[in-house]
Structure formats: structure tokens, C-alpha cells
Structure 1
Amino acid sequence: MTTIPTPSDDKRFFEILDLCCKKIEEKMGTKPIADWRSPDYNLLNSQLGRQTKVYLSENTLKRIFGRLKTPTRYYPQKATRDALAQFIGYRDWQEFELINRFAPQVAPAIQQEIKVADIEHVAPYEKQSKVRTSKLIIGIAIFILAVAVGGFIVFNQIDQVKPGEVSLICENPNGEVPHTAIFKLSRLGNVNEDKQFTINFMDEGPLKTITANQEVVQFFKNPGVVHVRLFYKNKAIDTIAVSMQTKGWVANSGHDSLSAFPIARLKPLSKQKLFVSAKQLDSAGINLSKPFMIGFSNIHSSNISGDNFLFKCQLKTEESRPGIACMQASIFILGSEGRHRVLMVKPSCSAFSEYNFSELHVNGTSKNLSNMSYDFSAGGNVKLLVKNKKVSLFINDKNLLNTTYDKSIGKVLGVKILFNGIGTAASPELSDLNTGELY
């Protein structure tokens, strides 16, 4: 059921919704929403559905963006709000609201409307009085706004946690799937023990609050590496990696999300051919008549640098599947400090291509990535070479992408291969460029 905001919350909610719409406009990167036509809304619907599995009609999107007039402003339901937030890089709407709660508001222009027709029918001194009153109202409003902004800035400068004063600790950061991890805070400075901090578990759970004397317990059910972040006043102050390890390669029903789950009754797979059949998926409870994703994961600690390695593998996707127009294959290299990700699709769907190397994130809607697209339905050999933070992507020995990034992802803690629909990964291998160590 949709939660209707109270009148006091209503105005701020729609300001945050407008901010979300603005970020969506920036991500689409075509033209202002005011100039959008049906093809623009259809493109957004397609990309939103591919990324979040939530599809919205043109009229619904117009209501959200305020382009379709209604007696009262349209209030999207929770699933819709979560999808909009996820589309622009947040875990859900709650996280988007938390981070942007204190974002600067656009102050409405304070105007005292004085109709010319009315002024023409009053005496000159009445005209001057109206003008003086208007100026006085504007002056008072500006003064109040300046005091409020100044007080807010001073308060926030005082109520800050300096780097290193508080850190997040996990008592058991490494465990097998499933894993229950315990989190605490460590205080080095004179930080009030009643201060509340927020823990973000990415896609593995809702935001949770914690104070200096509390413990927070979080259950992780998917193989992978989660970079758990600690926030204070919407500012990230610490990050730690929690690793859900596997004994070799295993299959699960998707990527790191609350809806993903390991495929039951399957032994660790031979890396010579990572594959699960339709019969095995059906026995695991996956509805094959709807779009689904299959992931293969190998998660364990290593001394291999995430900035100096060679990964190679042979990938093969289905030719087609009902409900999936663009078959895709993704490779994730999970590090102790960050991750790399490459999403590859066939040439006709290159708008959905993406790559994410540490802090660098580029998608096919903002840049032409047709050069790195490939149809894997007939199979293809992929090589990902990362040398001193310089990246090269090869498919069938053809160099399709070269780029660089700045921030190290640390040591390699895991490798994941993701398909929408049934896919096959043969002989994946990751090796350290300096030592030759195999992951």
C-alpha cells in the first residue's frame, strides 16, 4: 500500500522527487525533460526495466515528472520510488532520501504580485505604499533565509565527525555462504556515545543505525563481496569489505540483491564449464517463463593486486529468450577496496553496454560504446588486462576498449560472471601479472 505523506512532509518529499527526476534527466543525457516526446519516455522505460525490472508507462513517467497535470501531485508507490533511486545509483529510495535530505533547497522567488490594472485605480501614495510593502516583505524573507542558512552551516560545522575519530569494525568479515556478520564502532576521538551513525549494506539489506555502544547483526545470503559503508550526517566516513566465500565456483540466481539466492542441491562446478541447465533451474524454483539472471561466483582471499592482473574466459549466451531483447554477459572483479565490472551486449543493443573500473563508470547512454559490443550467442573469448590501473578489453584477441582509472581496488577477493538467461562460462582464469599467481 502506498504511504501518503503528511502535509508537513509533502513539500520536502516532492522537492526530493524533483531532485531525483533531475538526476534521471542528467543520466539520460539527451535533452531537458520539458522537451521529451514519446520515444524519450519509451527509452527511459526500457532502460529502467532492464536495470531494475520495473517498467513504467509513458503516462506514469509523465505524472512523476510533473508533465501530466493532475488535481494533486502524483505520489509514486514504494516499488516505483525504489526503482527510480536504483536507476541513478542508489540502493533504494530510503538511501536516496537519507543522502539528499539536507540537500540545498531551491528557494521559491518571493514576489508580491501587483496587477497594473489595480495600480492604475489607486492614488499615487497607495502605489508607493504597495511597492514599499513588497520590498519590505522581500527584505524580511531574504534576511530570514540568510539566518537559517547561516545557522544550518554553523551547526553542521560544529556537529561533524573528523576522519579517523570513528571507524566501523566487523568481528567476522570473512565467512561461507550464508554468513552472519557482527558490526561495532571504534571511537578514537571525543565523540559523544549517543551520536547515531548509519550503516549501508549495499543491496544486501536495509540501512541500519548504530551508536558507540551498540552491535548490529547482518545476514548475508549471496556469494560475493559487500563494501559496507558507515555514514554520519549523510557523509561516508568509513568502508570495510565483508566477503561471503565459496569453495570453488558456485551458481546463484542473480547478482548481489535481496531477490538473489544460491541454487540449491548443486555441487561446486567444474571451471572447465560453468553451466546450469533449465531442469536444474526449474528444480531450484526459478520461473523460466519470466526474465531471470544466473551468476557464477568464486570468492576467496588472495594476494593478487586488483590493479595488475589478466583475466580470460570463454563466454556463450543464449540466442534469445522470451522477455529479453538484449542478451548480456557481465564480468565482475571484486576487490578489498572496490570493484571492476564490464557489461557486454550485442551490437544492436550497445546503448545498454557499461563498464565500471573502480571510480570510473561509463554507460552506453552517455557515450558510444558500440566498439565493445559483441554477440556471444556463438561464443567468444574475453580477456581483461589491467596493468598499473590501465585497462584493456579484448574479445577474440581484438582490442575493443582502453581506459584508465585512479583509485586502487586493493586485493582480489572474488570473480563473478553474470548472464541474463542461461549462459556458459568456460575455463575462467585470473593471474597476477607480477607473480603469476592464479586465483
Structure 2
Amino acid sequence: MENGQDKASTLDLLDHCCQLVADTYGKPDSSEWTNSDFVRLSSILYKKTHVQISPNTLKRIFGKIKTDARYYPQKATRDALAQYVGFADWDKFIDTPSRQPVRLVHPDTPPVLLPPADIPVPQLPVRRSRLKSFLLAALALMVIGIAGWRGLLFWQGKETAVTLFCKNPEGGNPHSAVFVLRGFGHVSRLTNDYSIEFGDNDKVQLNGRDSVYSHYYEVPGRYFAVLKKAGTAIDTVPVFLHTSGWTATANMMYDTTRVYPIETPGLFTKGYHSISAPEIARAGVDTNRTFFVNFINAHLTGIDGDNFELLVDVRTSLPRPGVRCSQVRLTIYGDSSNHMVDIMKPGCAHWSKLQFSELHKDGRSEGPDFLGADLTAGGIVGVKVVNRHATLLINGREVYKNTYHKALRQLYGLDIMFAGIGSIRSVQLKDLKTGKRFAGNF
């Protein structure tokens, strides 16, 4: 629909939507906004629409950052702006003649009050009138005092919720993310009852002195930093480290202090489907110990995370020092959660795991034998999701299906991890609704 509109009309609609956003935000004059306004609006938009729009993108939309031509955002961004001001999406916004959210109608003129008729008032003695005024004033002060005391008790008993905010949720690799705690009143409230789990197996206990914490991410992907109080999650924010094409990163078991990026020019082109032990050793990895290699391609794909099909042709590692189970783990990054499949040799199913959004299975407690498969000679792992109905296939055989409820929305890329030396012979990912294909397919 919007392709048929001329450029000027399209930009007029965008300007009108921006003004509605500014009105809804509470500061109608967006030209007076500071950087903190754009940071705060970015956070509000994500919590209300689940679409991440960076502060810099908002500045371009509102004209704070000058460009040669008027910046016009992508459809998902326009949908989020329209949703924030009360419309289902951008199409509904431009189809509405008035383009104004529904408001309550108030009378134009206040009701007219007629003056009371003159009624003679008997004169009270002055002393009696003063006594009555004094008693009324004393009673009023007593009521105000009681109300104030009860309000103070209520305020002390009802603490505001502490929230977590990331000032720079997107970046390359590596990335230092800065997290800010909000809504705590006094910083001493942030005791060690609170902790932040950063989503990469690292966490920090709050110390009651600081409200800003930074964390160093060194492997590409999408992470979910979780604020917890007494072990219970109370807020979550995403952090995204994007890549330019496929990358390879190694790490060693029990060595949580470092990772080893591997230089792989031309990876997955011209028959280059694996990384050899000498290449991994040159990156600093002791290949005589247990090690893992992650192949990651992370970017905003434009593919629906709840309606897609993925086929990955892999060959897992042959037995070698530290590798017995020939593990391959496939992680599909989503906007609000992930899908993950962890496949081992049949005798190692104890260590296997499965996740489809909020659904989890763990081999140590549930024994999912269907995740046991020997792929050392090669095999195809398939994941198909249709309207949140998920199906897992191994070598064309359906081994698991279930329905999850928490939508992933958009996909942010793939992570294929091997224990030891594995190879990927092909990746085919596509959107089942639009037919759009993953830029990292080969």
C-alpha cells in the first residue's frame, strides 16, 4: 500500500506519527529532546512493542542527526512507532482518516451554575463563631496528619520495582555493555539480594554501592541479561553482538577466562566446510584437551522466528583426546528467546538438552533419548516451526514435536557448536510465510 504513495506524502505521514509519539512520550517539542530522552524512549518502545530501536536510529527518525536525505525507517520500526501511539501497525495508522488514537469526548462548555437566592443568614455571636472556626481548623489538621502518617507507612511498605536498562544493547565483537539499575530509591537498597546474570554463564552480585555495571561480551550472538532478586527474575534486557558473515570462535572446557577467535577467510566457500586442528592450535587452543568451536552468523535476518524451516547438514567430530560424545549444538537466536538443540551420541544422551522458547528438556532429569544420534559420518538436523508448532527431525525422521507459547518474533542468526573437529556441509534457512532466505545460507 505504501509503495504507491509519493515520497512527500510518505514523509508527511512519518512526521505526523513522530509528533504523536512525542505527544504520547509527554514532551511534544522533540526538537528540545536531549540524548537521555532518546535513550529512555528506546527502552519504553522495546518494553511496549518488543521491537529494539536504538537511540541513534530514533535520532535519525526525529531529525536530530542530520542526513543528506530524510531518513525513512524500515517497516518493523514504523510498525513499532504506530503501535506505541495506539494503532495495530503502520498500515492501520495510514488507513485511519484522522490518524488519531481514540480519545474520550469532553463537553465543550462547562455547566452553568445559577447563583443562589439571597437568604437572610442569622448573625451568630462573635465568640461562638470563633470557637467553631477553631474546632474546624483543629479537626482538619488532625485529619491531614492521620492521612499523611498512613500515607508514609504505605509508601515505606510498598517499594517501587527495580528495573534493568542497557545503555548500549547492540555492538560488534567484542562488546562492553553498560547496565543501569533504576527505580531503587537509595543505592543501599541494591544489596547482594540482587544479581545480574549476563546470559554468557557469567554473573555479578550487586554491592549496595553502585547502580551502574559493565560486562565484557567476547563471543557474537544474542544474550538476555536477567536481573534477579533472591534468585527470582524480575527484569530482562537483550544484548546483541552482530557479525559480518560466518565467524569461528574456540574455547576449552573448564577455561572460562578466555575465548580464541580463529581467522577463517573464505569460510564455507569453495569446499571450505571445516577448520583443521592445526588452524585451531594456531589460535592458542590446546587440541590435546577438550575444546569446542562455535560457528556463528548473527544479524537481524527479517525471518519470522515462529514460521521457518531450517536444514543443517553436519558431520560431528571423530573420537579424539577429550571428545567421546561427538556433540553438536544448534542455537537459533530470537528476539525474545531462543530455540536450541543439543545432539550427542546415543550413549551420551544424559548430557543432551533441548529448548523451544520457554519449553526446556534436560537429559540429566528427563532423559530425552531421542536426542541421541551418531552423526560422525554425517547427517541432517531439521527444525520446522509453523505458528509456534515446533518439529525436530534427525536424518528426515521426526523425533520431537510440541507447541510453545512465548513468540520468538524475528530471528537474529545461528550458532552451530561442535565438540572437537566438526564440519558444516550446508545451511538452508527460510521464512515459511514470505519465502525470504537467510543471508548465511550455503
How far does residue 246 in structure 1 lie from its aligned partner after superposition? 0.9
SS of residue paired to 1:219: strand
How far does residue 172 in structure 1 lie from its aligned partner after superposition? 1.5
How far does residue 358 in structure 1 lie from its aligned partner after superposition? 1.6
Q: 1:421 to 1:214 in 2, by over 3 A?
A: same
Q: 1:268 to 1:172 in 2, by over 3 A?
A: farther
Give the whole-Å Cα distance in 2 for the aligned partners of 1:325 and 1:259.
24
The equivalent residue for 1:174 is 170
Contact 2:317 2:418 in 1 (8 A): no
Aligned residues: 280
Q: Which amino acid is the alignment partner of residue 168 of structure 1?
A: L
Q: Does 1:410 align with 2:406?
A: no
Give the whole-Å Cα distance in 1 for the aligned partners of 2:336 and 2:292.
26
Contact 2:187 2:211 in 1 (8 A): no
Q: 1:186 to 1:252 in 2, by over 3 A?
A: same
Give the whole-Å Cα distance in 1 for the aligned partners of 2:323 and 2:252.
17
Contact 1:248 1:269 in 2 (8 A): no
The equivalent residue for 1:244 is 241
Give the whole-Å Cα distance in 2 for the aligned partners of 1:217 and 1:372.
37
Give the whole-Å Cα distance in 1 for the aligned partners of 2:391 and 2:170.
31
How far does residue 260 in structure 1 lie from its aligned partner after superposition? 5.0
Q: Does 1:199 align with 2:193?
A: no
Give the whole-Å Cα distance in 1 for the aligned partners of 2:346 and 2:231.
40
Give the whole-Å Cα distance in 1 for the aligned partners of 2:272 and 2:375.
16
Give the whole-Å Cα distance in 1 for the aligned partners of 2:350 and 2:228.
34
How far does residue 333 in structure 1 lie from its aligned partner after superposition? 0.8
Give the whole-Å Cα distance in 2 for the aligned partners of 1:210 and 1:388.
44
SS of residue paired to 1:366: helix
SS of residue paired to 1:403: strand
Give the whole-Å Cα distance in 2 for the aligned partners of 1:354 and 1:205.
20
Larger mean Cα displacement after TM superposition, 356-365 or 377-386: 356-365
Q: Percent identity?
A: 31
Contact 1:172 1:181 in 2 (8 A): yes
Q: 2:259 aligns with which of 258, 261, 285?
A: 261
The equivalent residue for 2:180 is 184
The equivalent residue for 1:383 is 382
SS of residue paired to 1:253: strand
Q: Which amino acid is the alignment partner of residue 219 of structure 2?
A: N
Q: 1:350 to 1:217 in 2, by over 3 A?
A: closer
The equivalent residue for 2:352 is 353
* Structure 1 residue ranges without an equivalent (≥5): 1-153
Give the whole-Å Cα distance in 2 for the aligned partners of 1:368 and 1:199.
30
Contact 2:252 2:289 in 1 (8 A): no
SS of residue paired to 2:376: helix
Contact 1:319 1:377 in 2 (8 A): yes
User: Which protein shows a greater Rg?
Assistant: 2
The equivalent residue for 2:305 is 306
Larger mean Cα displacement after TM superposition, 229-238 or 190-199: 190-199
Residue by residue over 1:312-353, the C-alpha shift from the partner in whole angstroms, topping out at 9 and shown as x without a partner, is 110101221123221111100111211111111222333333
Q: Does 1:325 align with 2:319?
A: no
How far does residue 377 in structure 1 lie from its aligned partner after superposition? 0.9
Give the whole-Å Cα distance in 2 for the aligned partners of 1:395 and 1:258.
31
Q: Which amino acid is the alignment partner of residue 173 of structure 1?
A: P
Q: Where do 1:5-404 residues align within 5 Å?
A: 158=157, 160-162=159-161, 166-187=162-183, 191-192=185-186, 194-196=188-190, 197-203=194-200, 205-209=202-206, 214-254=211-251, 258-267=256-265, 269-270=267-268, 273-404=272-403
SS of residue paired to 1:355: strand
Residue by residue over 1:254-308, the C-alpha shift from the partner in whole angstroms, topping out at 9 and shown as x without a partner, is 4998445242433362367542111101101111111111110111123323222
Give the whole-Å Cα distance in 1 for the aligned partners of 2:168 and 2:290.
35
How far does residue 309 in structure 1 lie from its aligned partner after superposition? 1.3
SS of residue paired to 2:285: coil
Q: 1:397 to 1:260 in 2, by over 3 A?
A: farther
Q: 1:183 to 1:428 in 2, by over 3 A?
A: same
Give the whole-Å Cα distance in 2 for the aligned partners of 1:309 and 1:428.
13
Q: 1:211 to 1:241 in 2, by over 3 A?
A: farther
Give the whole-Å Cα distance in 2 for the aligned partners of 1:217 and 1:263.
22
Contact 1:314 1:427 in 2 (8 A): yes
- TM-score, normalization by structure 1: 0.58
Q: Which amino acid is the alignment partner of residue 295 of structure 1?
A: N
Q: 1:324 to 1:181 in 2, by over 3 A?
A: same
Q: 1:318 to 1:194 in 2, by over 3 A?
A: closer
Give the whole-Å Cα distance in 2 for the aligned partners of 1:253 and 1:383.
25
How far does residue 192 in structure 1 lie from its aligned partner after superposition? 4.3
Give the whole-Å Cα distance in 1 for the aligned partners of 2:354 and 2:282.
33
RMSD: 2.9
Give the whole-Å Cα distance in 2 for the aligned partners of 1:205 and 1:347.
30
Give the whole-Å Cα distance in 2 for the aligned partners of 1:307 and 1:260.
34
Q: 1:204 to 1:347 in 2, by over 3 A?
A: closer
How far does residue 379 in structure 1 lie from its aligned partner after superposition? 0.3
* Structure 2 residue ranges without an equivalent (≥5): 1-152
